[in-house]
Structure 1
Amino acid sequence: MKSTTSALLNRIEFPVLLAGLLIAAGLWGFVELMELARAATPHAFDTEILLAFRHAGQPDNPIGPLWLQGAMRDITSLGSTSVLVLVTTATIIYLLLIRRPAAALLMFVAVAGGKVLSILLKFEVDRPRPELVSHLVNETSLSFPSGHAMLSAITYLTLGSLAARFLPDRTTRIFVLGLAVLTTVLVGISRVYLGVHWPSDVLAGWCAGFAWAMLCWLAARLLQRRKVLADSE
């Protein structure tokens, strides 16, 4: 029995094991946050963090200089549907031009599937936007999970993982993936600063986004191993 377990562990590659752990952690985190979002009243965790981005006793007055508000609006646009569609389309066209149809398919499935999943989750939880502080941008959709946080995680992590495959050394790959994570984090923070999401909305978006991106990566890896998809076309 011990030898069988050891043989199985030896066959499992570390990146695959790590991806599986990230998926499990993301799903667990999302379920926990979903329970918090369905509560009748906002949790102290949400209200305290949201108010921390406003001057004490002034929910309409965000902290920081005026230029910070503009910067946060610029950063949040990196997770908007229009920008992500543009980035995704440009990436897919480039991958097709360099004859990487499998990678192009992965990018499309990850982002398009993530968008559909985000919409379904919003309607399932049906959480309104926070009214505790003023909104610095106009939003009309439901609040949970944050679509900006979720889709930026999916898009930029998938793009980063694809780019890393073509880079020559480990340091550069780590830099690219780190940049993808940083962009995702900044987009999420901007949503809370702008007052259009509870912090738990953003955390749930990150959890779902990371889990979905890793699931798509695992599926593509499995299909490639079985030669259903190939990178060499």
Structure 2
Amino acid sequence: MSILRHWPSVRARVGRELGLVLALAVVAGGVLGFLALADLVVGGETVAFDTQVLMAFRQAGDAAVPLGAPWLPTVMRDITALGGTAVLSLIVLFTVVYLVLVRRPAAAAFVAGAVLSGAGLSQVLKAFFDRARPDLVPNAPIELSASFPSGHSMLAAVTYLTLGVLLARIETDRRVRVFFPFVAVVLTVLVGVSRVYIGVHWPTDVLGGWLIGAAWAMACWGVVLWLQRGRPALAADG
């Protein structure tokens, strides 16, 4: 009877511990993968791969013409905006305001802190590697920042994965809990692919952004899960 009485709290604790282990695994894999990829990029060993994949999105013999239906370039530009500073800032702002209004200040602070710190890390990494943007696609949008890692891909991963996990922790229906992280991953992937499609990033820029972005999002969640040991869940703070 004692075990049954305490079962909900035991299950919640086990869930937090498993979540912490999973977060640490993603962090370790993401950081190690990013460092290995960065080493290849700096050494110039990805040039052939990057060029081949980037040009695979263009018509043979005319790099100015992308593959696909005439409407696809417009769709890709719309999708790439989902990883832009303006759109992500609005999403984060509205999310933070909502969490404050429903009296979840810790969750609001977590979302703001995770995304803002991720944006800062993105700028530091870009300045450190200072990789040139692709120059293979005529009439590609002009981007002034460095290329590696892709800021759109990284911040999409940080923002959408952070929100996806937060929503999953709030939701009680298991099917819906899986749905939120799934949507977060799909949006992150689409933003990254769009960056290569419109010709403003090398494929390894996007891969690097995904790796370090996912690692950063999960690192932030790992810290929260560690701090929450024996305390109420972040999603239920008041």
**Is the TM-score greater than 0.5?**
yes
**1:126/1:142 contact within 8 Å kept:** yes
- Where does residue 5 of structure 1 map in the other structure? none
Give the ranges of 4+ consecutive aligned residues of structure 1 lying more than 3 Å apart after TM superposition. Answer: 226-231
**Structure-2 residue corresponding to 1:109:** 113
| Cα 1:165/1:41, change in 2 over 3 Å | closer
Structure 1 CA distance, aligned partners of 2:179 and 2:232? 31
Instruction: Quickly say closer, same or farther: Cα 1:207–1:225, change in 2 above 3 A.
Output: same
| Structure 1 residue 16: Cα displacement | 1.6
Name the structure 1 match of 2:162: 158
Contact 2:16 2:225 in 1 (8 A): no
Residue 134 of structure 1, CA deviation: 2.8
Tell me how many residue pairs correspond in the alignment. 224
What TM-score, normalized to structure 1?
0.90
Q: Which secondary structure does the structure 2 equivalent of 1:180 belong to?
A: helix
Alignment of 1:181 onto 2:192: no
The equivalences for 1:196-207 within 5 A come to 196-207=200-211
- The answer for the alignment partner of 1:7 in structure 2 is none
2:236 counterpart of 1:218:
no
Task: Specify the SS of the correspondent of 1:94.
Answer: helix
Q: Which aligned pairs between 1:17-36 and structure 2 lie closer than 5 A?
A: 17-36=21-40
> How far is 1:135 from its partner?
4.9
Say which of 99, 113, 120 aligns to 2:103: 99
**Structure 2 unmatched runs, 5+:** 1-13
State the alpha-carbon separation in 1 of the partners of residues 233 and 167 from structure 2: 18
Asked whether 1:127 is paired with 2:131, we answer: yes
Asked if 1:69 is matched to 2:73, the reply is yes
Deviation of 1:37 after TM superposition, in Å, equals 2.1
> CA distance change for structure 1 residues 11 and 58 in 2, over 3 Å: closer, same or farther?
closer
Cα pair 1:36 1:43 within 8 Å, conserved: no
Instruction: Write the deviation string for residues 121-154 of structure 1: whole angstroms up to 9, x where unpaired.
Output: 0000010101122353221111000000000000
SS in 1 for 2:96: helix
Q: Take 1:11 and 1:140, find their aligned partners in 2: how far apart are those partners?
A: 44
Q: Give the match's secondary structure for 1:85.
A: helix
User: Could you tell me the TM-score, scaled by structure 2's length?
Assistant: 0.89
In 1: Cα distance, 2:227 partner to 2:17 partner: 16
